[in-house]
A and B are shown apart, each in its own frame.
Chain A
Amino acid sequence: MKKNRGKLVFILITVLVSLYFLYPTYKDYQLSKEARSLTGDDSTKFVESHDKEIRDAKAKRIKLGLDLQGGMRVVLEVNVLKFLDELAKNKDDQFHQIFAEVSEEAKASELDLVDLLKVKFEAKQVRMSRYYGLIRDTDDEVVTKLKTESTTAIDRSVEIVRNRVDQYGVSEPSIQKQGNRRVIVELPGVSKEAEVRQLLQGTALLEFKLVIDPEIASKVYQSIDRTLAGKPLEDTSKADTAKTDTTGNMASNDTTGDQNLTEEQAKKQHPFFYLAGTSSQQQNWSGELFSAEENKAKVMAILTRPDIQRLIPSDMGFVWSAKPGITAEGKKFFTLIPVKKTAELTGGVITNAKSTIDPVYNSPIVEMTMNDEGAKNWARITGSNIGKHVAVIMDNACYSFPRVQEKIPGGQSRITGMENIEEANLLSIVLRAGALPAPVDIIQQTSVGPSLGEDSIRQGVLSSLLALGLTILFMIFYYKTGGTMADIALLLNTLFVLGVLAAFQGTLTLPGIAGLILTIAIAVDANVLIYERIREESVTGKSLTAAIDAGYTRAFTVIFDSHLTAIISGIILYQFGSGPVQGFALTLMIGLISSIYSSVIISRVIIDILTERGTHVSFG
């Protein structure tokens, strides 16, 4: 008994420790059950009074994988290509060509993008410093600079994503960097896919740009229109060439002074205005154009043509409205606003953003405050542009272009034009957390609804219990008393695996439950090995105690070897797998290790105690 006392105590300790770690899971289950059975006021009161308990339990219980509790898992990849593209300055045709080649090759190549860029530049014998870094930088210096910048950008992106997710308010989110370009975001219990996507992907680049003077804009439009129609470029300012209905009939405009041109003729004579109408006749026209939804692409194609580009002043750019408007007939149209290419102010100066409802117009707005330097600049900009319009642009989409009424000294500004308060909310979160330095793509997304998760849990638990039950019965039937001992060890084994999972906050997935079941099988195997051995030994005439001794000793090496091979399998699987499969590998490995412990030590101790007491332990 003495030699076993130590072991017994140890076993007891491990059992208690496991129970301790599993208690929160049980508590959480109880609390949620109670909370669900109450309704209305009772329920809220219950949650409030037990708030701390509930939160503690939730924090320490076994983490359920997304396939069991529902939620979203998104893998983001930083688009280094776009990042490098945006970093470059003085981009010209040569640059675009080289970059196009790089984009093509990047799809197939495993090379670091910066290296690939260097190779391409070298092939064309162009110095990288023409577009990146300082003039005197050698190619290698530029490469180092670019690489450092991309790594910093990636790290900052991870941080910003983390910030955004934190602010979004998900319980137990998980954000991890993977490799050197990816971020894995897991949001349990979240189902609003579109919102999450917007939250994660929006670069949140906020820009304030001055709207170009309507007169200048008008001249540019006319010259574009004439070029497209094949007419000469002189400024025959027939003031009525730009007449149109403002709100109605966007797609079929009467754009000429002669009100009775047919559609075909209008299209031929004023091809540009046919696609993008103006309301220049109206007094408060600020230079914008209106285009039906289906014509957007065509208009952009025109504006980016090299011959048309020559007609547009170098500091003039265009930006589309973020939201479409709806005509009286229900057609959607977008507004195209001519703005100065360089932003007067960017989102970096925003210190706070709050979403709220404007009391006057009863519409959702985001109110922003700036830092000191931003406020100073903003005061200057507003002060010197009174009467002009400033476009508020987010991620290259214009939300509004209000008129500057007066100088704004306090660094306040606002974004209007959102559809609902949720959108305003998202915008404010994204502004607060900061702009993503580099654009991110969603390369993988999984979203599981809660009902599917519940089904999975039910099936998992059912099959585990069934498997456990049958195994236990079999062991008792075939190995009699020895079998019962093994069964106790088996149950404790399952307890240990769950306890370890809870203690280390590992995640239980549906394949993980399969792994648990498999562990039962393997634990049984260990016991079978031992008992068969014992049977063999007793047949050779040894006493029971001696046989038991021999059985355990001899079997140990085998158990160890065989379990080890399975553990190696598990490690490899954990390394190469992802998501739920890793959960399987984890539970398998934990199960294997604890099965060595439970089958060799626990059942042995129990059997020893029994034999010493004189109980005849039979092994079938």
Chain B
Amino acid sequence: MGKRKTWYLVSAAVISLSILATFTKGFHYGIDFLGGTELIVEFSAPPDIGKIRTMMDQAGYSRSEIKQYGTASRVLIRTEHQEEGTVVGDKIKASLNQTFPDLHPTVLSTQKIGPKVGAELRRNALLAVLTSLIAMGLYVAFRFEFIYGLGALVALFHDVIVALGFVCLFDGMTSFMNFEVDQNMIAAFLTIVGLSMNDTVVILDRIRENRKIYRSMGLAELINKSLNETLSRTIITSGTVLLITVILFLFGGEVNRGFAFALTIGIITGTYSSIYIASAIALDYINRKQSKKSANVASAGKPRYETVQ
């Protein structure tokens, strides 16, 4: 707890970086949220991406997204254009067969999402994240004390924002790292919220237990003690989960990759947010309240409580 100021600064820096990344570089919506048509096509040999783009332009679908998907011979083609039913997908297929007859393009999967559906999924995703944040906050406030709920909530926000920021930052850095914000990504965020909550709860539980045992101990010291006691557990658990998410990231396939990346970042931030942020905020809040109280009382000559460092 002593080095709180430092950690506040670090967090502030990381959050600002994330927010910057989110708003400038931006992120790519997956097709779930965008609406449109997406195809995954396999060729018998790596195709010329430029040629595909020209083909799409000619078909009337400019501003389409084309990228490598997994192996070099697989391509993901996506366009936001909306037409009746699956006309877009059919047209693209026909064009592909025309333009690359000797590369035997085979369509591995197609997705078409109407505009209304895309908007709905977006709205649902946002609702999901907000609801879970609020639900967590309430749960903690209910099981522990209100202020801890607030601290936990701040820590959770921090986690989600940083995870989002890093996803934006690293998206597209290599062809291995294609991160889109789609339903899987939202699932990752919610999992981060759940797991980070996990850590926070463990620490708060220890704090609560210690308050009962060491009634006379000052709050800052108490929190420090609780943190130290739970440290080994936190590190080990986070370590194992981290190991697992990294495995998922490397070997889990394209579908799970963005999800695994977000989770990895989330675990890291989740751990240190539970350790440093949640309790720190709670501590500062309580101390401020108490110093206000004692400021009112100071004129009466009562001793002040532990000051913050």
A residues within 8 Å of B by Cβ? 67, 75, 193-194, 197, 201, 441-449, 451-452, 455-456, 459-460, 462-463, 466-467, 470-471, 474, 478, 510-511, 514, 517-518, 520-522, 524-525, 528-529, 532, 536, 554, 557-558, 561-566, 568-570, 572-573, 575-581, 584-585, 588
Contact = CB atoms under 8 A, between A and B. Distances in A.
B116 A443 contact: yes
Given A561-B205, A565-B139, A569-B132, A581 B111 contact: no
A525 B198 contact: yes
Contacts of B183: 577-581
A572 B108 contact: no
B136 A558 contact: no
B227 interface: no
Contacts of B106: 449
Contacts of B114: 441-444
8 contacts: A446-B110, A446-B111, A447-B110, A455-B70, A511-B187, A562-B199, A568-B194, A569-B193
Nearest to B39: A447
Contact of A562 (B198, B229, B236, B253): B198
B252 A470 contact: no
A510 B253 contact: yes
Contact of B109 (A75, A446, A462, A522): A446
Contacts of A451: 42, 108
B108 A448 contact: yes
Interface string B223-257: 00000010011001100110111011001110110
B112 A517 contact: no
Contacts of B245: 521
B205 A558 contact: yes
B283 interface: no
A477 to B, nearest CB: 12
A193 B110 contact: yes
A456 B128 CA distance: 27
Interface string B187-210: 100110111011101100100010
A566 B132 CA distance: 10
B194 A521 contact: no
B127 A576 contact: yes
B201 A562 contact: yes
A165 to B, nearest CB: 18
B298 to A, nearest CB: 39
Given A470-B243, A471-B240, 9 more contacts: A67-B255, A194-B90, A442-B85, A442-B86, A447-B110, A520-B244, A572-B128, A575-B128, A577-B124
B253 A521 contact: no
A445 B112 contact: yes
Given A446-B109, A517-B244, A581-B183, A573 B198 contact: no
Given A75-B117, A442-B85, A514-B259, A521 B244 contact: yes
B255 A561 contact: no
B307 interface: no
B219 interface: no
A236 to B, nearest CB: 44
B44 to A, nearest CB: 13
B5 interface: no
B244 A197 contact: no
B187 to A, nearest CB: 5
B251 A572 contact: no
Contact of B240 (A524, A565, A585): A524
B132 A514 contact: no
A469 to B, nearest CB: 10
B128 A201 contact: no
A446 B90 CA distance: 13
Contacts of A521: 237, 240-241, 244-245
A576 B85 contact: no
Interface in B266-303: none
A471 B244 contact: yes
Nearest to B123: A576
Given A514-B256, A558-B201, A474 B240 contact: yes
A568 B117 CA distance: 25
Given A444-B117, A577-B128, A577-B186, A568 B136 contact: yes
Contacts of B150: none
Which 9 residue pairs are nearest across A and B when measured between Cβ atoms? A569-B194, A459-B253, A443-B114, A576-B128, A566-B194, A565-B197, A521-B241, A562-B198, A448-B109
Contact of B253 (A460, A467, A581): A460
A449 B107 contact: yes
Contact of A459 (B131, B132, B252): B252
A514 B248 contact: yes
A452 B128 contact: no
The size class of the interface chain B forms with chain A is: 35 or more
Contacts of A563: 198
Contacts of B255: 67, 456, 510-511
B113 A444 contact: yes
A566 B128 contact: no
Contacts of A471: 240, 243-244
B184 interface: yes
Nearest to B203: A558
B276 to A, nearest CB: 19
Nearest to B84: A441
A525 B121 contact: no
Given A447-B109, A478-B236, A588-B191, A576 B124 contact: yes
Contact of A565 (B121, B184, B194, B244): B194
B110 A565 contact: no
Nearest to B205: A558
B87 to A, nearest CB: 10
Contacts of A558: 201-202, 205
B105 to A, nearest CB: 12
Contact of A569 (B124, B190, B236, B259): B190
A570 B252 contact: no
Contacts of B233: 528-529, 532
Contacts of A67: 255
Given A529-B202, A558-B205, A584-B187, A462 B251 contact: yes
A471 B256 CA distance: 20
A413 B232 CA distance: 81
B112 A449 contact: no
A566 B248 contact: no
Contacts of A463: 247-248, 251-253, 256
B201 A467 contact: no
A62 to B, nearest CB: 19
A155 B128 CA distance: 29
B15 interface: no
Contact of A525 (B113, B197, B237, B259): B237
Contacts of A441: 85, 114
B198 to A, nearest CB: 4
Interface in B107-161: 107-114, 116-117, 121, 124-125, 127-128, 131-132, 135-136, 139, 143
A551 to B, nearest CB: 12
Contacts of A566: 191, 194-195, 197-198
Given A446-B110, A573-B128, A528 B237 contact: yes
B202 A197 contact: no
A467 B128 contact: no
A565 B201 contact: yes
Given A562-B198, A576-B128, A466 B251 contact: yes
Nearest to A527: B237
A585 B187 contact: yes
A575 B136 CA distance: 16
B247 A470 contact: yes
Contacts of B202: 529, 558, 562
Contacts of A197: 85-86
Nearest to A532: B233
Instruction: Please indicate which of the listed interface residues B86, B187, B241, B243 has the most CB atoms of chain A within 10 Å of its own CB.
Output: B187
A445 to B, nearest CB: 5
A536 B86 CA distance: 63
Contact of A511 (B40, B85, B195, B256): B256
B260 interface: yes
